[in-house]
Amino acid sequence: MQRALKRLDSVHQKLISEISPLQPDIYSKRPAEGEWSVAEIVQHLCLVEGRVTKELEAAIAREPRRVGFFRRLIPTSIVSLRLIRVKAPKAMNPLDSPQRDQAIENFDRTRSNLKTLCAAHNEERFRNIVFKHPFLGEIDGVKTISFIGYHELRHYKQIREVLRKLGSEQ
């Protein structure tokens, strides 16, 4: 789990470094019809991580349960690949994204909540949690933490693509 947490920190720092210097018009501009702006991507990340943290908290409150053997073999790193476009669940679609500084504050708070939860329980407890991911199926709590890092990496790449399309790459 420590490796997954280090990845969370690393990717998060890269993403924040990428978006912090953006001007408000670039931050909130969509590169094309039907594509998300950087602001919408950041809000989506915050929504997903907040929901996952709440679901992990609920799973910890339940009796321990292990994911089946074959389910444990699913590599969460596939989430970071941008070869396949995946439509976000409706509840995770961004609406009325906040300004950049507020969005970063919200995202940092959400990350802090997740890390506090991780610090309060050991890795073995997270191995005995079942999280139902809409695309990966049932994964354990450690893989769920790993998923969050790879999900953020996926969207970091998306942000870089958006900035290239807008001609505003840092």
pLDDT digits (tens, 9 = 90+) for 79-111: 887 766 777 777 788 888 899 999 999 999 999
Residue 141 is assigned to a structural domain of this protein: yes
Give the residue among 165, 157, 148 at the shortest CA–CA distance from 77.
Answer: 148
Q: What is the pTM of this model?
A: 0.91
Residue 116 is assigned to a structural domain of this protein: yes
Give the residue among 137, 143, 117, 129 at the shortest CA–CA distance from 59.
Answer: 129
Specify the number of domains making up the chain: 1
The burial class, CB within 10 Å (0-12 / 13-18 / 19+), for 166 is middle
Mean pLDDT of 49-62: 96
What's the domain range around 13?
A: 2-165
The tokens of 87 are what?
Answer: 């439509």
Contact 67, 128 (CB under 8 A): no
Residue 115 is assigned to a structural domain of this protein: yes
Other beta carbons less than 10 A from residue 20's beta carbon: 12
12-29 tens-digit pLDDT: 999 999 999 999 999 999
Give the residue among 22, 10, 25 at the shortest CA–CA distance from 169.
Answer: 22
Asked if the model's pLDDT at residue 170 lies above 60, the reply is no
CATH number at residue 101: 1.20.120.450
Mean pLDDT over each residue of the chain, to the nearest integer: 91
Residue 47 is assigned to a structural domain of this protein: yes
pLDDT > 70 in the chain, percent: 97
Residue 170 is assigned to a structural domain of this protein: no
Query: By three-state DSSP, how is residue 144 classified?
Result: helix
